Structure 1
């Protein structure tokens, strides 16, 4: 099991995530490239929530290839193209994860390779060896 780290000596998180995650040294890791909200057929939802849900579904499919699930994610890095997307991204993320929450960072960036994309999500998952 991975251990969330949340010392009382620092400011608590602004949302449901862990400030740190301790991973046992004999764990098996999967490092996921950034996933966009694009379906197999190339369709892209017009909104951040739709793109975030699809990006997490893509992450879930990749993890399934390694016999893992979203519950095995220990680290999320997410990127959105504007502050107006923060809330909808976090609502999608918060529905998918429960305690112990993964470590998480959310950044605002100027854009992605195609202008219709508004969110990209990368992750690291780990399971005991």
Structure 2
């Protein structure tokens, strides 16, 4: 009986040691992956900023080209620049309207609907 109790105790200690070792290795893996993911996300953010800057530069060049072509077609500079500003303003307004429509769809409607019956059964 004493030998079997010692064997169980030793087996339990070994199980706990192996479990602890496994958990330490798992946490180290999580830390390494977290660092790698952070570096990847940071690089993606930097590239997104670069893409946005390039897109703005391309848009400005396009608008400048439209203004120059308008002036060459016979319009004066103030009218061409005003036209470019109006064009940009209309595009901005259209995008604002679109974003507002998108924002109406943001929410947790299905979650709230699924929780509604449960909240009605709660005692008050």
For Structure 1 versus Structure 2, the TM-score category normalised by the shorter chain is under 0.3
Scaled by the length of structure 2, the TM-score of the pair is 0.23
Higher share in helix? 2
Relative to the length of structure 1, the TM-score reads 0.22
Q: Which has the higher contact order (CA 8 A, sep 6+)?
A: 1
Larger radius of gyration: 2
